[in-house]
């Protein structure tokens, strides 16, 4: 255990960094609040928020954000858990497979990943169309990123590939902490793989699942480069999310007050997600203490 003086020295050493980061956060949020409550003549006004509420593009971006976030987070968690389970069983060459399945997608920069998937979805030379035609799933090449009916699905799949390594790393660490004796005892009792997964693995990963859910949800809501590079929010706004719409309003149409109001609304949504998670974790910890 650290002594009181040692703890005091640690807190004092990190205090300047906390103050600098805290000052930046307060300044940036304060500036956004000021802009969001500033009218055309520079006076206090709620007009920016009224315009946001009446903006059909904002609600379209909200619906797209819900689909984008839900599909991406669900896919990343499921695929990440599957990869973690596979890597847990691999004994020989585990480092190599971890590099291929986890490090490679994670280390690929956002721009490179976006351009890579954009090329694979190409309606003329894309490898995805070529494979699907050869195995008979589709009869002709599809412009995945060029039509509203498939654009969102295409970018969600690309985001699942880019984001699942984070979930996989968390899950792999959590799976390694589960005592093997629990699985051995369940085998003696006649439990099969599915039963062991449902009654042992998932309950032991419950807190970790919630943590991954919160983190990936917040990251996905705020994720900008992949979807912007691949589709630029199109076609016809089919992949326009909160962050791409705010960016467009601020830097293309110079609607700084409305974009600031949208940013504050998005901040409130993300804060509500984080506070809900913290409340659940704290109440769960409290119930354990009482027990």
Model pLDDT for residues 14-41, shown as the tens digit of each residue? 888 999 999 999 999 999 999 899 877 7
**pLDDT of 289 higher than 60:** no
**pLDDT of 95 higher than 90:** no
At residue 159, the pLDDT reads 96
At residue 149, the pLDDT reads 92
More confident residue, 4 or 45: 45
Portion of the chain with pLDDT greater than 90, in percent: 63
- Provide the whole-model pTM: 0.89
More confident residue, 291 or 38: 38
Is 75 within the bounds of a domain?
Answer: yes
Is 5 within the bounds of a domain?
Answer: no
Is 11 within the bounds of a domain?
Answer: no
Average pLDDT over residues 180-209: 88
**pLDDT of 11 higher than 90:** no
Is 71 within the bounds of a domain?
Answer: yes
Is 273 within the bounds of a domain?
Answer: yes
Is 49 within the bounds of a domain?
Answer: no
For residues 169 and 211, give the distance between their C-alpha atoms in angstroms, rounded to a whole number: 13
* Average pLDDT value over all residues in the chain: 89
Domain that holds residue 184: 57-290
The domain tally of the chain equals 1
Q: What CATH number corresponds to the domain at position 155?
A: 1.10.3720.10
Is 23 within the bounds of a domain?
Answer: no
Is 8 within the bounds of a domain?
Answer: no
**pLDDT of 287 higher than 70:** no
At residue 2, the pLDDT reads 57
């Amino acid at each position: 255990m650290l002594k009181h003086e040692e703890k005091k020295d640690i807190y004092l050493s990190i205090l300047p960094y906390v103050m600098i980061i805290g000052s930046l956060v307060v300044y940036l949020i304060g500036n956004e609040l000021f802009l969001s409550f500033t009218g055309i003549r520079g006076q206090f006004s709620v007009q920016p928020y009224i315009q946001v509420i009446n903006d059909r593009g904002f609600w379209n971006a909200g619906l797209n954000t819900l689909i984008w976030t839900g599909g991406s987070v669900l896919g990343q968690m499921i695929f990440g858990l599957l990869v973690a389970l596979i890597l847990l069983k691999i004994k020989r060459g585990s480092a190599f497979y971890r590099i291929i399945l986890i490090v490679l997608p994670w280390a690929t920069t956002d721009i490179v990943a976006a351009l890579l998937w954009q090329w694979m979805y190409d309606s003329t030379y894309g490898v995805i169309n070529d494979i699907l035609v050869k195995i008979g799933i589709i009869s002709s090449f599809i412009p995945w990123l060029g039509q509203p009916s498939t654009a969102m699905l295409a970018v969600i799949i690309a985001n699942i590939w880019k984001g699942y390594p984070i979930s996989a790393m968390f899950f792999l660490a959590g799976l390694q902490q589960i005592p093997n004796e629990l699985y051995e005892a369940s085998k003696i009792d006649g439990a099969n793989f599915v039963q062991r997964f449902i009654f042992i693995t998932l309950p032991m990963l419950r807190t970790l699942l919630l943590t991954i859910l919160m983190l990936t949800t917040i990251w996905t809501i705020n994720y900008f480069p992949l979807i912007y590079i691949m589709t630029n929010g199109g076609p016809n706004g089919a992949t326009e999310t909160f962050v791409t719409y705010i960016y467009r309003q601020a830097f293309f149409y110079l609607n700084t007050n409305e974009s600031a109001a949208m940013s504050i609304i998005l901040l409130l949504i993300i804060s509500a997600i984080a506070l809900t998670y913290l409340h659940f974790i704290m109440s769960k910890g409290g119930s354990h203490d009482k027990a």
